[in-house]
Amino acid sequence: MVILSWVRLALGIIFLLIGMFLFGIQILALFKFRYVLDRMQAAAMGDTLGIGSSLLGLMLLSGWNLTTAKLALVVIFLWCSSPVSSHLIARLEAVTNPKLEQKCEVPDEIRKSIEEQNQQRGDA
């Protein structure tokens, strides 16, 4: 039983270190990239993987109790909300940036949405 607790401790620390390493890479990427959508990609991936790994490490260190269940709910909530919010912010950038076509290829769906919004602004 003592060996199992040492293994659980080691795995918890390893997952926490992996999470901190991913957060460090995310911070470096946020400073390195210049374009908003590139930063969004780095932030979304770093949040999802870093938070998941860190909370998994905390769950292992905490043991199997009510705190672990709460941390599991936090992981589920963050894994559902972080990609959705990142997608919405990226879509806002794609719709409101007039120089978007110079930076990347714009899908037809977004191009139509931009044209519709420009027509609505012209009508108002």
Sorting pLDDT into bands at 50, 70 and 90, what band is 1? confident
**Span 49-107, pLDDT tens digits:** 888 899 999 999 988 899 899 989 998 898 888 888 888 888 887 778 777 666 666 67
Pick the most confident of 9-13, 28-32, 62-66, 107-111: 9-13
pTM for this entry:
0.70
Q: Where are the domains of the chain?
A: 2-123
Question: Does the pLDDT of residue 124 top 60, yes or no?
Answer: no
DSSP string covering the chain, please? Answer: -HHHHHHHHHHHHHHHHHHHHHHHHHHHHHHH--SHHHHHHHHHHHHHHHHHHHHHHHHHHH-SSHHHHHHHHHHHHHHHHHHHHHHHHHHHHHHH-TTHHHHSPPPHHHHHHHHHHHHHHHH-
